[in-house]
Amino acid sequence: MHNWKRSEYHGEPALYISHLELSIAPKWSAILGSVTAIQEDLPEMRKVTDDVQRWKLMGIGALAVIGNGDMAMGVSLADALRRIEAIILGR
């Protein structure tokens, strides 16, 4: 077996570089494959993310409307109870 580190120091840089390129090639192709797969899935993920954001905004808006309605009903109920109490107690 050839000592690649030794060849680097003994005037065989081209051999050392070609060995590095051969050892990196499978890793590089795996990375490119992963990136390509992610890029293909990205538009679908964006659609889902946009839907979730829209649902979140709709939910927050609905909570605000319900909260305002509940507040109005609570104030009305409290006022009605106060008036009934005033009638019963004769104030």
pLDDT digits (tens, 9 = 90+) for 18-73: 666 777 778 888 888 888 888 888 888 889 889 999 989 888 888 888 888 888 88
pLDDT reading at 78 higher than 70: yes
Q: Is the dihedral of CA 31, 36, 39, 40 positive or negative?
A: negative
Please give the pLDDT value at position 3: 59
Please give the pLDDT value at position 6: 55
- What is the per-residue pLDDT across 4-13, written as a single tens digit (0 to 9) for each? 555 455 556 6
Domain with 42 in it: 4-89
Please give the pLDDT value at position 72: 82
Cα–Cα distance measured from residue 15 to residue 87, given in angstroms and rounded to the nearest whole number: 103
* pTM for the full predicted model: 0.39
Token pair belonging to 55 = 């649902």
SS3 annotation, the chain: CCCHHHHHHCCCHHHHHHHHHHHHHHHHHHHHHHHHHHHHHHHHHHHHHHHHHHHHHHHHHHHHHHHHHHHHHHHHHHHHHHHHHHHHHCC
Please give the pLDDT value at position 4: 53
Overall domain count for the chain: 1
Chain mean position to CA 46? 10
